């Protein structure tokens, strides 16, 4: 049902500049996304516009250039670094005579390839169906025919398009019900940890910042880690014992990226609740990236979107082995550790992370003790 851009083939990438200061960075990310989806990039078509064209997004002249480029390099795919409407996508495919995808569908395809757990697969399918719901008509030549009969094939006079939409709605409802059950299970586990007063820490950050490598280093785990975008999607949780803190629950969450589709944020919201409910966030940053400041802003934006912007956060500047920095830590004006510089790959600076966790755990424990004391000493008010 869902067209997949991945799985091989040559593609022409299209990136139009609408006076976006992050234009080059976003286009470089699109190349990495295509490579992650196992697509060979044979050419990149650039352009500059004031606003998108209503019919083809790129305009008649640029579409001719894209068609010529596709013909020269024998590409079977065109991938836009933008979100296309169903009509624009349909018009482009008719003119270019090849498959056309946008950034959103490419990211969805990568998520579909990388999901491993049953819940992760359900979440990706839900995001795909909600994306597909707005463009069911595209490429379906049989949808205008009416079907007779009653039952599975539709009621009297029900068109194929109406039947497909109804089946899609039913499947979406089924997926949401299944995901709700997974959420209930996590809520039970989370309440048990809260009753036991277990210190909960979540790793968040931009995709390919090194979260899984850092998670493996801290938890001595074997979570999948690779130098590619969205190497892992499923939230992994491990218990870690620190002598000064006791038992710590450490969670590795899905990475973020610019223009992350809202359907994915919504579908993975249940998984991201590990970050929402954490006592501390370790915000992993690629210290070697020239765009790290923009990436930090983007991660914080998504954290605010899911309601995790008020949770204490420590920035972990990772990959100092590539950036040429030295391991160490920085404190804010209140004396709290706010940033740690490490290399998860070599292990350099890991002691500073453990020191940061220990100090935060100690402050958290003192805060809980003060709260309990205030409750015990609060005078009893009697009403007559």
Q: Which two tokens stand for residue 187?
A: 């809520």
Q: At what angle do helices 160-195 and 118-132 cross, to 10 degrees?
A: 140
337, 362 Cβ separation under 8 angstroms: no
Q: 197-374: what fold?
A: Rossmann fold (3.40.50)
Place of tokens 């959420």: 183
What does each of the 384 residues of the chain score in pLDDT, given as a tens digit? 456 565 568 999 999 999 888 888 889 989 988 988 889 999 999 999 999 999 999 999 999 999 999 999 999 999 999 989 989 999 999 999 999 999 988 888 888 887 777 877 888 888 888 888 877 654 444 444 444 444 444 555 557 777 878 888 899 899 889 988 887 877 777 676 666 677 889 999 998 899 989 998 988 866 555 555 665 556 778 888 887 778 888 888 877 887 777 667 766 665 576 677 888 999 999 999 888 998 999 899 888 888 888 899 999 999 999 988 899 999 999 899 999 999 999 999 999 999 999 999 888 877 766 655 555 555 555 454
The whole-model pTM stands at 0.74
Sign of the Cα pseudo-torsion (60, 65, 66, 71, in order): positive
Contact criterion met (CB below 8 Å) for 96 and 68: no
> Which overall architecture, per CATH, does domain 10-110 show?
3-Layer(aba) Sandwich (3.40)
Task: Return the beta strands (E) in the chain as ranges.
Answer: 10-17, 40-48, 77-80, 99-101, 146-147, 158-159, 199-205, 236-242, 246-252, 280-286, 313-318, 328-331, 337-341
Identical topology for domains 10-110 and 197-374: yes
């Amino acid at each position: 049902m869902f067209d997949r851009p991945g799985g091989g083939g040559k593609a022409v990438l299209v990136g139009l500049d609408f006076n976006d200061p992050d234009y080059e960075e976003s286009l470089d990310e699109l190349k990495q996304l295509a490579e992650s989806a196992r697509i060979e990039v044979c050419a990149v078509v650039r352009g500059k516009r004031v606003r998108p064209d209503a019919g083809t997004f790129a305009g008649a002249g640029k579409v001719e250039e894209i068609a010529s480029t596709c013909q020269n390099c024998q590409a079977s795919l065109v991938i836009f670094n933008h979100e296309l409407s169903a009509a624009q996508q349909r018009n482009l495919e008719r003119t270019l005579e090849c498959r056309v995808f946008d950034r959103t569908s490419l990211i969805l395809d990568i998520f579909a390839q990388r999901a491993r757990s049953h819940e992760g697969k359900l979440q990706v399918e839900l995001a795909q169906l909600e994306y597909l719901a707005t463009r069911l008509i595209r490429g379906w030549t049989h949808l205008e025919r009416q079907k007779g009969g009653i039952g599975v094939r539709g009621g009297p006079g029900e068109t194929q398009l109406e039947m497909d939409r109804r089946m899609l709605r039913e499947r979406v409802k089924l997926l949401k019900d299944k995901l709700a059950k997974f959420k209930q299970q996590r809520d039970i586990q989370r309440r048990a940890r809260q009753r036991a007063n277990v210190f909960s820490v979540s790793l968040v950050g931009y995709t390919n910042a090194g979260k899984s490598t850092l998670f493996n280093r801290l938890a001595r785990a074997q979570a999948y880690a690779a130098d590619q975008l969205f190497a892992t999607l499923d939230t992994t949780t491990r218990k870690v014992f620190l002598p000064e803190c006791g038992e710590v629950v450490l969670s590795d969450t899905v990475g973020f990226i610019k223009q992350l589709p809202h359907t994915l944020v919504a579908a993975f919201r249940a998984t991201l609740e590990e970050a929402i409910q954490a006592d501390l966030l370790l915000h992993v940053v690629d210290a070697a990236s020239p765009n790290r400041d923009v990436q930090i802003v983007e991660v914080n934006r998504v954290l605010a979107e899911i309601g995790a912007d008020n949770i204490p956060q420590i920035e972990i500047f990772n990959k100092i082995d590539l950036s040429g920095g030295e391991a160490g830590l920085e404190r804010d004006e209140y004396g709290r550790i706010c940033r740690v510089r490490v290399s998860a790959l070599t292990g350099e600076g890991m002691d500073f992370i453990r020191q940061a966790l220990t100090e935060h755990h100690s402050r958290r424990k003192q805060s809980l003790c003060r709260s309990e004391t205030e409750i015990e000493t609060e005078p009893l008010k009697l009403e007559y």
